[in-house]
């Protein structure tokens, strides 16, 4: 049996980044969790990924990471955010402007 970490984001699914309240992952035992919230979603997501990678290459080797749809909704709903070629969260001001035009049409 493969055990999984579960990743989610606290956000109300609006187009406003101010509704962001952090990325959280639950441990495979489902009882413990860690939340990353500095107010900077890019930093929080990428810091969380580093911690998860350390755990997957250490005591939790063989586990997998599952992502809640809330993560995808955040990236697609909040203008300017995207995943790069390494699956790391990024923000681009020009992309934000283009995304906002699309949202407001």
pLDDT in tens, 33-90: 999 999 999 999 999 999 999 999 999 999 999 999 999 999 999 999 999 999 999 9
DSSP 8-state code for residue 65: E
Taking residues 15-31, report their average pLDDT.
92
Count of the separate structural domains present in the chain: 1
Least confident of 17-21, 85-89, 100-104: 100-104
Question: How far, in Å, CA of 76 to CA of 82, rounded?
Answer: 7
Residue bearing the bigger pLDDT, 28 or 102:
28
φ/ψ of 54, rounded to 5, equals -60, -40
CA distance linking residue 20 with residue 22, whole number of Å: 6
| Domain extent for 97 | 8-104
| pLDDT for position 66 | 95
pLDDT given at position 1: 57
């Amino acid at each position: 049996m493969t055990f999984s970490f579960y990743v989610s984001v606290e956000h109300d699914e609006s187009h406003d980044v101010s509704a962001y309240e952090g990325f959280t992952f639950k441990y495979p035992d489902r009882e413990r969790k860690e939340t990353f919230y500095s107010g900077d979603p890019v930093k929080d997501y990428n810091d969380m990924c580093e911690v998860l990678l350390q755990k997957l290459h250490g005591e939790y080797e063989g586990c997998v990471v599952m992502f809640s749809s809330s993560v995808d909704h955040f990236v697609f709903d909040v203008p300017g955010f995207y995943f790069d070629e390494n699956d790391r969260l990024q923000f681009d001001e020009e992309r934000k402007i283009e995304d906002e035009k699309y949202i407001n049409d």
